[in-house]
Structure 1
Amino acid sequence: MARSLLDDGRFRLQFAGHETFPLRYGWLKKSFDAVVAAEAAGQIDTRSIFTDDAAIANFGVGKNMVTSMRHWSLASGILQISNDDDLSSSGGQFQPTALGRLLFGDSGDPYLERPASLWLLHWHLAATPGRATTWYWAFNELNEPTFTRDVVRTRLGRRCNELRDDGRLKTSRITESTLKSDVLCFIRTYAVKSDGRSTQEDALECPLTELGLVQSVDIGSAFQFRRGPKSTLPDEVFLYGLLRFWRGLYPTRREFTVEAVTHEPGSPGRVFLLDEETVAERLARLSDLTRGAVRWDESTGMRQVYAADVMTLEPLAFVERLYRRARPEAKAA
């Protein structure tokens, strides 16, 4: 397996911050609106939005939930902290990201009704380590077809010990209790009932359950990843993930094999739980989507995707095009 990003010193690792609450409907929109309103009002210091005495009343939730809202807004890529190269928030101000403005700005998807929005949020949680390290580890390193909470916690604890021995976590104190809470929150972010009777009320706790990426089995005592085709995943979001993976980790490379895009840590195949044939089918469609900038080729006997200069391709531009087509005025035209 290629080198995991957990071993990459550019990424600081975090196993807490959500206060045991999974992402909930409405939280990202409220957080985004609060920061945008503060900017519009000329508030210079936005650091207090989630910490001052008025935060509980403004957001309508308890103190721990306000902290969780802050965490998920940053982890999902909706907000960012200025001058925040890792996870340090000292001195930085909250700012909406381009993704945040696309999803929650004017003509966006404030209620997360489009599957594309959920896939984008999932990508930002699981594609790289950082504020949701367990999410990255689970989708990119956990290979058990079926697992329990205890198995996940044990495997994750073993991985943390390896990282500590290598010096990556030598200054961090990660207790068994911390890992237990993080694993439970991870499961609750995605798990769907095994009997197929999951209701809208069940999904209110976390919208990402709608993606069906984790299925409960044995009456909820065990879980499994649901790998294979994803009918609700738009090609534009798949391309977004591919370009983020390519530009962020391998900016000088000009080609990837199907196997790499399927199995490399941080790849679309890993993060979106796609099988090799599904990845190949999607890669073959990207030439039309990118007007030839990303090209499928089998002439050498290997199934590969090429891009002459991937750094000239802006990932979000293709997603913006998708959302523009979905707007009422575009349909009317």
Structure 2
Amino acid sequence: MRFNFRLAKVSRTHLKDMEIKELPRVFSGHETFPLRQSWLSKLNKIADNSMINKKLFSEDNLVATFGVGKNMVASMRHWGLACGMFVEKDEYLCLTPHYERLFRSDLVDRGQGQRTYLALDPFFERYDSVWFVHWRLAAFPLRSTTWFWLFNRISSPTFTKEDLLQSLTTFLEATEGKASDTTLLRDVETCLRSYIPKLDAKGGVEDASDSLLVELGLLREDKRGFYSFKRGPKPTLSPAFFAFCLAEYWEKKHQGSNQLSFELISYADSSPGKVFKLDDESLMDFIDQIEKITKGLFSWSSTAGVRQLVRDEKLYQLLKAKGDEDYLLDMFCRGYE
């Protein structure tokens, strides 16, 4: 029996474009637990040589090590993969380069011999690290379809849980995807609780520190069951980290172009403006600093009323000489200097 919810404004034609058809359809794995404050740091601690043997997650000793139940251990594994901290390689979960730079020191710089690095944020205390997790979940999802959908495809000023559910149901029907009503409901509830503090019976905040993403202040519950995005300035989002996200979006979505319009940066799926819920003025505040931060790689142009960023192709090719991933990794690390 399908949900009979108020239909969100979703275009079926728009749902059939190639990028949306290729969107991962993963709505479970978190065991209904939002990603918690200490979980990524705990996962890093059990990584040996930046790898975790998958068998560890089926053994009881991790329950004692983490001080949580088996369902939470499974949830931690899910979040480690969902936010791109690990990738699966044979029997191991392997730490990815960005998180390796966050948590680890004394790394090997491939192609340049041995170099010593200090961990950028070993205790996961900096806001940009939390923004990075959100960016991974909502911009280019691996196992977080609902997170992407919420921040890219829900545009109403105010929405309900039922609106989000119906929108996802329409997406699945249009793309021949499958998920049970119960699975979708649990995923939507987990997603919303990831960004909004859990309330007690009297309406007070029960534990604002429980979920890692709550501190970003991206969502609010205006009244019971009605939600809205907090659009506008994001004081905890650094201009340097914004520059990295812009570079990654440009690389993944518009690599062949040396120009990027303001409209794409602001309104397109997976764009920094959309994922971070920036209004036009806040977005321009970041763009005004982009040329200095990127040392001339990106510059702003508004000739003849056309508002766009322009990429210096000579500098771009020089920076990419080490490879696409190294170029973006360097941009990422620069934000922590």
Structure 2: gaps (5+ residues)? 1-13, 106-118, 321-326
- Of residues 56, 77, 81, the one that matches 2:88 is 81
Q: Supply the distance in 2 between the matched residues of 1:2 and 1:272 (Cα, whole angstroms).
A: 22
Partner of 1:187: 192
Partner of 1:104: 103
Partner of 2:71: 64
Q: Supply the distance in 1 between the matched residues of 2:101 and 2:18 (Cα, whole angstroms).
A: 28
| Cα deviation digits, residues 245-282 of structure 1 (max 9, x gap) | 11112211111111110000010011000112222231
Partner of 1:7: 20
User: In structure 2, what residue type is equivalent to 1:78?
Assistant: M
User: In structure 2, what residue type is equivalent to 1:274?
Assistant: L
* Residue 294 of structure 1 pairs with residue 301 of structure 2: no
* Residue 233 of structure 1 pairs with residue 237 of structure 2: yes
TM-score scaled by structure 1? 0.82
Q: Supply the distance in 2 between the matched residues of 1:4 and 1:56 (Cα, whole angstroms).
A: 43
The alpha-carbon distance between structure 1 residues 178 and 279, as it changes in their structure 2 partners (threshold 3 A), is: same
Partner of 1:320: 333
Partner of 1:163: 175
CA contact (8 A) 1:257 1:304 kept: yes
Query: In the comparison of the two structures, how many residue pairs are matched?
Result: 299
Q: Supply the distance in 1 between the matched residues of 2:63 and 2:15 (Cα, whole angstroms).
A: 44
Partner of 2:6: none
Superposed counterparts of 1:1-333, under 5 Å: 7-9=20-22, 11-35=23-47, 37=48, 39=49, 46-82=53-89, 91=90, 93-106=92-105, 107-164=119-176, 169=177, 173-192=178-197, 202-218=207-223, 220-309=224-313, 312=319, 314-324=327-337
CA contact (8 A) 1:2 1:264 kept: no
Give 1:230 shift: 0.9
Partner of 1:327: none
User: In structure 2, what residue type is equivalent to 1:63?
Assistant: K
Q: Supply the distance in 1 between the matched residues of 2:287 and 2:92 (Cα, whole angstroms).
A: 38
Give 1:133 shift: 0.5
3-state SS of paired residue (1:189): helix
Structure 1: gaps (5+ residues)? 83-90, 325-333
CA contact (8 A) 2:15 2:21 kept: no
3-state SS of paired residue (1:228): coil
State the identity %: 34
Give 1:94 shift: 0.9
The alpha-carbon distance between structure 1 residues 105 and 153, as it changes in their structure 2 partners (threshold 3 A), is: same
CA contact (8 A) 2:35 2:211 kept: yes
| Cα deviation digits, residues 32-56 of structure 1 (max 9, x gap) | 2212x2x37xx8x722132234332
The alpha-carbon distance between structure 1 residues 225 and 77, as it changes in their structure 2 partners (threshold 3 A), is: same
TM-score scaled by structure 2? 0.81
